Amino acid sequence: MEYKYAKNENYEDFASGRVLYHGRGMTNFPVRLAQEIYKRCLQFSPIKEDICLYDCCCGGGYLLTVLGFLNQDTIGRIIGSDINPELLETAKKNLSLLSEEGMNKRIAEIKEMLSSYQKQSHIEALNSAIALRNMLRKKIKFEVYRFDALKEINLKAKPDIILTDVPYGNMVDWTGNEENNILDKLLDTLYGICSPDTVIGLCMSKKQKIRNEKFIRLEKQQIGKRKFEILKKD
Ligand SMILES: C[S@@+](CC[C@H](N)C(=O)[O-])C[C@H]1O[C@@H](n2cnc3c(N)ncnc32)[C@H](O)[C@@H]1O
């Protein structure tokens, strides 16, 4: 796949565990790829500003937080949900970094570690935190919920873009389901919270398949061991 939107930049300020919190069992998603998928979804969306972005398997909120930083011009609200309550606590901490208060709190935390341990990694974390704080232009509202995405998602809002990196075995697997048509089941749940304009960017391993007839595929791309599909309601 050729990148159309996301530049080949140094994204190390977003390294998980540096300024953004890394929770136990969290996976890492490449920042450039996340940005590319978001921008491609935005291209298909008739709504171009004040976007409500939702991730139904948000884990520690890494993907959502990074996208929040990089897309303050288009994102107005972020919603994350996951089945794992422990990861949701990390998601809240990560998403709080999208405000000056949250980032100042994180900077104070890093400064305290630096004065206690004087590690090079803490100096790097402090520099990255200052760089991320300088990126902040507005406060993005966020909400975090515990939902089983295969059963019921109880959102009041209809998200404009749903971007999610689904479990695919190695590090994280689906909780609560053994069936092999699992992505179709996920799409059945998502159907209820989509407006006709909602655009879904679904990231999965290249072995996973979608056959849900309630949605049409707008795009499909493969990158290494991953693939993503962009869908909307038929
Ligand atoms: C690949 S990880 C997503 C990582 C996330 N994008 C991030 O930035 O940290 C997949 C997530 O799906 C969650 N998950 C597994 N089964 C689920 C279910 N039935 N409903 C909702 N989330 C589920 C896992 O807890 C895990 O956090």
Question: How far away, in angstroms, is 80 Cα from ligand 1 center?
Answer: 10
Q: Is the CB of 63 under 6 A from ligand 1?
A: yes
Burial class (CB in 10 A: 0-12, 13-18, 19+), 33: buried
Question: How far away, in angstroms, is 173 Cα from ligand 1 center?
Answer: 8
Residue 214 φ/ψ, nearest 5 degrees: -80, -10
d(CA 89, CA 60): 7
- Ligand 1 atom showing the smallest separation from residue 62 Cα: 8
The residue written with tokens 């089945």 in the block is: 83
| The pLDDT of residue 181 | 82
User: What residue ranges do the domains of the chain occupy?
Assistant: 29-99+139-233
**Secondary element (H or E) of residue 117:** helix 100-117
Question: How far away, in angstroms, is 111 Cα from ligand 1 center?
Answer: 31
The average confidence (pLDDT) of the chain is 94
pTM: 0.95
The pair of structure tokens assigned to 78 is 């972020």
| The pLDDT of residue 55 | 98
Question: How far away, in angstroms, is 118 Cα from ligand 1 center?
Answer: 35
| The pLDDT of residue 25 | 79
Give tens-digit pLDDT for 183-206: 999 999 999 999 999 999 999 998
Sites in the chain below the pLDDT cut of 70? 169-172, 176-180
d(CA 188, CA 170): 24
- Helices 120-135 and 100-117, axial angle in degrees (round to 10): 170
Closest residue by Cα to residue 147 from 85, 54, 194: 85
Detail the DSSP E strand segments found in the chain.
51-55, 75-82, 141-146, 161-165, 199-205, 215-223, 226-233
Q: Is the CB of 186 under 6 A from ligand 1?
A: no
- Best mutation site among 154, 175, 188 for ligand 1, i.e. most ligand atoms within 8 A of its Cβ? 175
Q: Is the CB of 23 under 6 A from ligand 1?
A: no
| The pLDDT of residue 208 | 87
| The pLDDT of residue 158 | 96
d(CA 234, CA 222): 23
Q: Is the CB of 104 under 6 A from ligand 1?
A: no
- Ligand 1 atom showing the smallest separation from residue 149 Cα: 20
d(CA 61, CA 54): 11
- Does 29-99+139-233 carry CATH code 3.40.605.10? no
CB count within 10 Å of CB 137 equals 9
